[in-house]
């Protein structure tokens, strides 16, 4: 009986010590805050061509205001972020930085950004996080626009890719 109990205890110790534990992974918030800044490397928009009525894709950053091309963002604690407005300012006396608020939701699958009009084509963004790996953040979000000339509505779908620096 003692041998059976001893064998049972030894088996439990051996199998218990073989259990592999994964290291804790960073949360979305920690990953976003880990970068000194996030620099946009790609900006695409899918839209309905008013003439062909087919989907078209273009790099929307090419048509952006030149003074906004070098803007970056940083995510800080307390869900406050900072837009760095770069070296090319749009107005005389424009500040070097502007604060925005942010929040990761839906178990880290969505990112809400408020007050980011100097970095994005609209002031408030409700984006899905497509990727957040290896220093790359890909956001996808949409905006409904109305074309009064053709009396049509279109859903613009934006995809922005940022690199961690």
Q: Where are the domains of the chain?
A: 28-164
What is the reported pLDDT for 5? Answer: 47
User: pLDDT band at 140, cuts 50/70/90?
Assistant: very high
What class, spelled out in words, does domain 28-164 have in CATH? mainly beta
Residue of higher predicted confidence among 157 and 55:
157
Give the contacts of 113 (CB within 8 A, at least 6 positions apart).
81, 100, 101, 102, 120, 124, 125, 127
What integer pLDDT is reported at residue 21 of this predicted model?
A: 44
Q: Is the pLDDT of residue 119 over 70?
A: yes
Sign of the C-alpha dihedral computed for residues 70, 58, 164 and 143 taken in this order? positive
Q: What's the CA angle centered on 103, arms 159 and 61, to 5 degrees?
A: 25
Here the tokens at position 101 are 């608020």
- Average pLDDT taken over every residue of the chain: 84
The Cα 26–Cα 22 span in angstroms is 12
């Amino acid at each position: 009986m003692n041998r059976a109990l001893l064998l049972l205890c030894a088996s439990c110790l051996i199998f218990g010590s073989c259990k592999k534990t994964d290291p804790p992974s960073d949360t979305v918030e920690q990953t976003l805050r880990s970068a000194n800044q996030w620099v946009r490397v790609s900006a695409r928009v899918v839209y309905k061509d008013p003439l062909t009525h087919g989907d078209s894709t273009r790099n929307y950053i090419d048509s952006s205001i030149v003074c906004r091309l070098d803007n970056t963002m940083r995510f800080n604690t307390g869900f406050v972020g900072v837009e760095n407005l770069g070296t090319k300012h749009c107005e005389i006396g424009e500040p070097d930085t502007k604060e925005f608020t942010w929040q990761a939701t839906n178990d880290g699958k969505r990112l809400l950004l408020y007050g980011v009009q100097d970095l994005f084509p609209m002031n408030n963004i409700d984006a899905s996080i497509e990727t957040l790996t290896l220093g790359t953040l890909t956001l996808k979000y949409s905006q409904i626009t109305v074309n009064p000339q053709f009396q049509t509505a279109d859903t613009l779908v934006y995809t922005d890719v940022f690199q961690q620096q």
